[in-house]
Amino acid sequence: MEASATTFFSCSLRSSATDRGRSLCFPQLKSSSKHLFSPSGRVSFSRPRNVLAVSADHHEPDGAKPMFTTIPGSDLPYHVKTSSKITVVGVGNVGMACAQTCVTEGLVDELALVDIQADKLRGEMLDLQHAAAFLPRVNIMADSDYAVSEGSDICIVTAGARQREGESRLSLLGRNLSLFKSIIPQLVRYSPDTILLIVSNPVDILTYLSWKISGFPPNRVIGTGTNLDSSRLRFLIADKFDVNAHNVHGYMVGEHGDSSVPLWSTLTIANMPVLSICDKDGVKYSRESLQELHKMVVGGAYEVIKLKGYTSWAIGYSTASLVKSLLRDQRRIHPVSVLAKGFYGIDKDVYLSLPSQLGRAGVLGVASVQMIEEERRKLHESSETIWDIQNQLQI
Ligand SMILES: NC(=O)c1ccc[n+]([C@@H]2O[C@H](COP(=O)([O-])OP(=O)(O)OC[C@H]3O[C@@H](n4cnc5c(N)ncnc54)[C@H](O)[C@@H]3O)[C@@H](O)[C@H]2O)c1
């Protein structure tokens, strides 16, 4: 039967691992999708795509008008691949902040959510879907089976335990290590060309682990790193000097954590080096007070966790900003966790944050920013800290 002469309803049907995600044509409208609970306890939520289209020469027997009519002579494909798909693994506070920000900013056409908590997963999916009238159009799906992530351009991993009050990021490692050994191979299986964007802590070591497990080239395995720390620093400087944070330029590098390194020597406000502003008479801040700001940056996450139990909004925006640079090939420079060997004299296989150019292929390059001797030394100390822990774990 000719498609153009047929009333057809295109539904997004995900009935098995093989046809999952494809739109199929049916001669009649399928009833609304079901939540599928397999004996294994796997939960699947699918949403029908209500594409109701008929050809111009089709007439309903009762004279009812179709909702849409195809233009005669059209050669519509049954399924047009939408341009961008991301998967978020872990629908906790951080995962949903990342998902929500990416959706709100219109960065994504398809969003897949994965978690092991079936009820929470379905609840988060529905809650976000119910905002459809206020959001850019996006197909949101959720499943505890990683097949739902198939064909993702970017996979964001936020799954795992989060810090308890006062707990360092590194002490989280033991708890999150084994999770990653099960998560990463599944993502690779369904999206062999994806970019892995790791958020879970300790982010540098888990990004290194993801690189090792995935077998991906290092440009396609990135950790959010100090992108957030740098924003915290820029916010604090902007606040103190009463300027817009967009006009504060500078990076924190190294570990996303206690040994991070602020690059004071190249930190500028509208091209004015902050250190030279501070050296002038009548200045508001001394070098010491800038170092105090660094402590505030490092302690920032701990303070938020103490006050509200977790951090979410800032890491959500930070991650969405990275997604934007990657998906839209923005070629912006972000301080993110990358394979650092060979840069700034680092000679070990460690992931840590360096100012890096991001585009559609992932990390396009690492910027050669100026560093004074003290900053280089601290960066090396930071890399040694990470290396020591990696060695203890023998990964
Ligand atoms: N890199 C950063 O800048 C940054 C900032 C904030 C938080 N984080 C980290 O993000 C992570 C998540 O934090 P959160 O506050 O969202 O925690 P959360 O406890 O709210 O959420 C974690 C989610 O992971 C899920 N999960 C656990 N095991 C899983 C598995 N095997 N597969 C799929 N999902 C699984 C849980 O069910 C839960 O929904 C933590 O490691 C935290 O330290 C990183």
Close Cβ partners of 258 (under 8 Å, ≥ 6 residues apart)? 168, 298
| The predicted structure's pLDDT at residue 27 | 29
Mean pLDDT, the chain, integer: 83
The whole-number average pLDDT for the span 177-204 is 96
Contact criterion met (CB below 8 Å) for 180 and 213 = yes
pTM > 0.85: no
> Distance, CA 9 to ligand 1 centroid (Å)?
39
Testing ligand 1's pocket by substitution, the residue of 199, 313, 317 carrying the most ligand atoms inside 8 A of its CB is 199
d(CA 39, CA 36): 10
**Per-residue model confidence as pLDDT tens digits over 351-389:** 999 999 999 999 999 999 999 999 999 999 999 999 998
* pLDDT greater at residue 339 or residue 176: 339
Alpha-carbon dihedral angle through residues 289, 204, 335, 228, given to the nearest 10 degrees:
-60
Ligand 1 atom having least distance to the Cα of 199 = 1
**165: pLDDT strictly greater than 90:** no
Determine if ligand 1 sits within 6 Å of the CB of residue 95: yes
